[in-house]
Structure formats: structure tokens, C-alpha cells
Amino acid sequence: MKRRVKITGIGPVTPAGTGRDEFWSGILESTSRIRPFLKLGEEWGPFVAAWVDRLPLDEHFTPFPALRTAARHTQMAVLGAALAVKDAGLTFDDVRAMRVAVFTGTSLMDFGAITRETESVAKSGIRGIQSKLVFVSSVAHVAATVSEALKISSRNMTFQSSCCSGLDAIGHAADAVSSGEVDIAICGGTEAPLYKHPMLEFRAVGMTPPTDQNHLTISRPFDLWRTTGIVSEGACMFIVEPDDSPRPGYCSLVGYGYSNDERGELCDGMQSAIKLALSNARVRESAIDSISAWGPGHRLIDAAEAKQLRGVFGDELDRIPAYSIKGSIGNPLGAAAAIQVAAAALGLRDQIVPPTVNWKYPDPDCRLNLCAAPVAVAQRFSLVNSHGVNGTNSTLILERSL
């Protein structure tokens, strides 16, 4: 018999705020955190992005070599894990006494370190080689460093399923707790791609804009005048426990599904992922009370997602409030859907649907029940959607804890 599982701790590290309360108040503001990104230098042309201003790691850990030299996405995951543990009302000693899994999702390796290494070798030859790159640049280093920072003995696993990585980490972690393999899971997604590479490549393929003009309104999910998504950074980690744990939960994780695009149509595997999640949750489409849409603000992807949602929910979709948080924080790739889970869980707690920042002009190709301001909505079940390049799709269904 599988156990029901719940989220008891939330640890966001995002452009909208770090920590549960700061993040939630930031997400509820109808404000964009997208800014001109000047770090790469004028010679590479204009960029915009959303980023985290400060990582207060020293408030939670005594610095140690692996953390001090870790990739930025690893440091954000470690900070998110510490915040989630604290938010759950646990101490590190409490966690060390349990059977723990650390499941993390990151779509990209540490391109910052890889780029620096390449430039160093080009300049200095063999003397420019940094052997530690083999370890610190790997996405597997994220979960390992979380475990080391908390000084726990854990089962570690890293997911690299494009932009679905964080959601897949949560879904599989929930299954590990549900099956009794572990007592508790620390799980979520993290991403820090704001380096020369891959930002130049993202801009070249139209996944981030070639301008920094009108930066506050440039990210416009589902809006008629949207252009493309905005690449950003962030992380969010969670504590997942059985429903019978003594700590209160924000919500239960009741359904998870994933599927790949197969017919050559953009997002055509999304319907399968949603239907599988609904089936695993044992609820009908009519039970869903809100949808945290993927909605990156990309002209084609937004329309494709809206089409797939209509294919699942039909006219029922007109009733269900939907939203995208990417107008506020951009798209932190493998961390995006994990951050969406945090917003959905807090929305269930407070019975609020966050705003879709910068949505103003309805698009006939995106017939969703959207609003640019927070809305009070009675919710029991919320659906979180994600989609990634190479045709990955994942969906998670949350049920409000009473």
C-alpha cells in the first residue's frame, strides 16, 4: 500500500524573493523582475534576465570547500534545502536521524565553469586545466553537495529532463516517500544559466530576446503581443513527507505524469502527461480548480500549451483560473516548474491564484481564464504544467491540506 505524501517545507530562491514569505509576497505583486543583463559585456549585444541578488549561505552553513567552489546552481539548491528544512519545522539533526532522499533537477551543466575552463586552456594550454571541473560542473554534484552541506547520509538522484527537470525530481521523490523507500525527501529544481554560453545560443535560437528595451513588459505570457521567453535563474527545494507525519502540510502530492512529444506537433505529449497525472490522482478533469501553466511567453509554445489544455479540459477550461508566473520571474528552465509548485502550494493554502504579470491583450489562440492581478479562488486541486525542449512534458497535481 502506498502512502499519501505532502509538502511540509518550501525553500524558494528566486528573483521574486528568497524564503517562503518574501517569495509569496513577491509573486502576488503584479511586477516584473526582468532587467537589462549587463554582466556579459556590451560586445555581445543586449540581454535581459531575472536573477537572484544575494545568496545568504553563511547564515545557514559554515563555509566548506565543496560549497565555496560549487556552481551557482548548486549553491542555490543548498540554500533552498536549508530554507525548506527550516520551513518544515525541522532541524538538520532531525533530518540526519531519518532515511533521506535528495532528488534534484537541473537541465544544464555549469556552463560558467565550462566556459572559463575553455578560455583558460585556449590561453594557457595544458597549464590552464582545472581537474575539478569534471566533478563540479556535473548536475549530479547538486544533490551530492546538498547532502554534504546538511551532513546527511542520503539516497541521491539528479534529473536532467530539460525544463521538466525540477518537476520530475519532485514527482519521483514523492513516489520514493510514498512507497516507503525513505522517510523524507529533499527535492526540487535549480538553474543558473546566465553566462555567455548558453545565453548567446538561447538568443540565437529565439528563446530569449535580442533587445533590452521595454524590459519590464517584455515577458508577456499568453498575451497577444508576446514574442519569446526570458531566460532567468532560480531554485526551489521542498520537504516531502508521509501524510501521517506530525508536521502540517501545505498540500498533498496526489498525481504525477510525464510524456514525450511523439507526433511531431509542439507539446503534443502534454495531453498524455496531464491525463496520466489525473489518473494517478484519481480525479476527473472537472475536479481541477486552478492551473499553473508553463506559459513561458513564447509565441508558439504558449499557443501550443493552450491548445493541449483545451484538448484535455474542453469547455471546462473556460471555468478554471489559469496563470503563468514567468511574467514576474522569467523562465529559470529546470527550476521553473519547481518554483511553480511553490506558488501553487501557497495558492492552495491561501486560496489565491497569482497574477499573470503583463497579460493584457487576450490572444484568440490562448483561450485561458487569465488575470493580471491576484484573484481569490476556492481551490482543492491545482495542476502544475511543464514543457521542455526535446519534447519533454510533466504534470503534477496538488490537493489542498485541510
Helices then strands (H, E): number in the chain? 13, 15
Which tens digit of pLDDT belongs to each residue from 315-364? 999 999 999 999 999 999 999 999 999 999 999 999 999 999 999 999 99
pLDDT computed for residue 150 by the predictor: 96
Query: Binning pLDDT at 50, 70 and 90, where does residue 130 land?
Result: confident
Buried b (16+ CB within 10 A) or exposed e, 328-348: bbbbbbbbbbbbbbbbbbbbb
pLDDT band at 1 (very low <50, low <70, confident <90, very high): low
Task: Please say if the pLDDT value at position 250 is more than 80.
Answer: yes
Q: Residue 232: what pLDDT?
A: 98
| pLDDT (average), residues 32-44 | 96
Domain boundaries, the chain: 1-386
pLDDT tens-digit series, residues 291-310: 999 999 999 999 999 999 99
Q: Please enumerate in sequence order all residues whose Cβ is within 8 A of that of 54, keeping only pairs 6 or more positions apart, or say none.
A: 18
Q: Are 101 and 182 in contact (CB under 8 A)?
A: yes
Q: For residue 373, name the pLDDT band (cuts at 50, 70, 90).
A: very high
Over the stretch 257-279, which tens digit does the pLDDT of each residue have?
A: 999 998 788 999 999 999 999 99
pLDDT at position 252 over 80: yes
Dihedral angle sign, alpha carbons of residues 118, 119, 120, 121: positive
Q: How confident is the model at residue 68 (pLDDT cuts 50, 70, 90)?
A: confident
Indicate whether 11 pLDDT > 80. Answer: yes
pLDDT, tens digit (0-9, with 9 covering 90-100), for 75-128: 999 999 999 999 999 999 999 999 999 999 999 999 999 988 888 889 899 888
221: number of Cβ within 10 Å:
30
The pLDDT value given to residue 199 = 97
What are φ and ψ of residue 359, in 5° steps? -75, 120
Q: What is the pLDDT of residue 118?
A: 87
Would the pTM count as exceeding 0.85?
yes
The secondary structure element, H or E, covering residue 365 is none
Assess whether pLDDT exceeds 90 at residue 132. no
- Does pLDDT of 65 surpass 90? no
Residue 369: what pLDDT?
Answer: 98
Give dist(CA 289, CA 337) in Å, integer.
Answer: 18
- List all residues 6 or more positions away from 66 whose beta carbon is below 8 Å from its beta carbon: 145, 148, 149
Superfamily for domain range 1-386: Thiolase/Chalcone synthase (3.40.47.10)
Report the pLDDT value the prediction gives residue 73, as an integer from 0 to 100. Answer: 98
* pLDDT of 385 higher than 70: yes
pLDDT over 90 (residue 2): no
Binned at pLDDT 50, 70 and 90, residue 136 comes out as confident
